[in-house]
Chains A and B, each alone.
Chain A
Amino acid sequence: MKALLEVSVQESDFDLRILQGSLLRGAAEEGGVATFTGYVRGSNDQRGVSTLLLEHYPGMTERSILAILEESAERWPLLAARVVHRVGELAPGDQIVWVGVSAAHREAAFAACEFIMDYLKTRAPFWKKERGPQGEHWVDARDSDSERAERWQAQQ
């Protein structure tokens, strides 16, 4: 069966329980669901963060995340994979991103969930700007994120 793939880019918050349920196709094929939820940190590189602004490239964002999900479904036998990513103005503690994967066995679910998150960090066109007591500034990309994504290319 073809994996069910879905991408949502939205300003509104999301409900973890509803999202987890959306991965289950009711055919009792799912052996497991692996999920990752990202939250806005209250500090970054020792700077306080009061507001996080997320800019994105409408159209390319959805398209690039879907391409990541398609690649994950080619690499592992997945039943469903879904990404929800928020944009706009967020505060520390807010949910920012959710990745969920269902599969017959845990190995595929764990690996695909990590792969999707690692690729999303380096391929999906989002840009973070932090506001805090020391003013505002654009967040720099981390080499460690590129290295994590490259690790998957080596395993191809």
Chain B
Amino acid sequence: MLRVLFFGRLREELGCGEIEVIADDSCRDLDALQAQLCAANGERWTRALGAANTIRALNQVMVSGNAPLADGDEVAFFPPVTGG
């Protein structure tokens, strides 16, 4: 399984903070996972996850670009951070 988390404004827009996804070939990497989530959940998800400023993290480290996924990975989608 993949653990997929959403935070901040994105979590609110999706009405979802966490889901589990079966780690099969349809989500072999971050881009494939995102495409699968959008296909399964429709326009609202496509817009929110596809926003130009959406950040992706893999196993609690921000990643730019695509990255391969394996069973047990933790993926997160969130807007630009505003701490401090």
The answer to whether A and B interact is yes
The bracket for how many chain A residues form the interface is 20 to 34
- Number of B residues near A (Cβ < 8 Å) is 19
A152 on interface, CB distance cutoff 8 Å: no
**Residues 39-82 of A contacting B (Cβ, < 8 Å):** 54-57, 59-60, 63-64
Please report the C-alpha to C-alpha distance between residue A55 and residue B12 in the assembled complex, in whole angstroms.
12
Q: How many A-B residue pairs have CB under 8 A?
A: 77
Please report the C-alpha to C-alpha distance between residue A85 and residue B81 in the assembled complex, in whole angstroms.
14
The A interface is mostly helix, strand or loop, or mixed, namely mixed
**Contacting residues, chain B, for A57 (C-beta < 8 A):** 5, 7, 57, 60, 76, 78
A108 on interface, CB distance cutoff 8 Å: no
A151 to chain B, nearest CB (A): 16
Q: Which of B60, B79, B80 contacts A64 (CB 8 A)?
A: B60
Please report the C-alpha to C-alpha distance between residue A140 and residue B7 in the assembled complex, in whole angstroms.
14
Contact B82 A140 (CB under 8 A): yes
Binding site for B on A (CB under 8 A): 38, 54-57, 59-60, 63-64, 85, 96-97, 117, 120-129, 138-141, 145
Binding site for A on B (CB under 8 A): 5, 7-9, 11-12, 53, 57, 60-62, 76, 78-84
12 A-B pairs whose Cβ atoms sit less than 8 Å apart in the complex: A60-B76, A85-B84, A97-B83, A124-B81, A126-B83, A126-B84, A127-B8, A127-B9, A127-B79, A127-B81, A138-B12, A141-B82
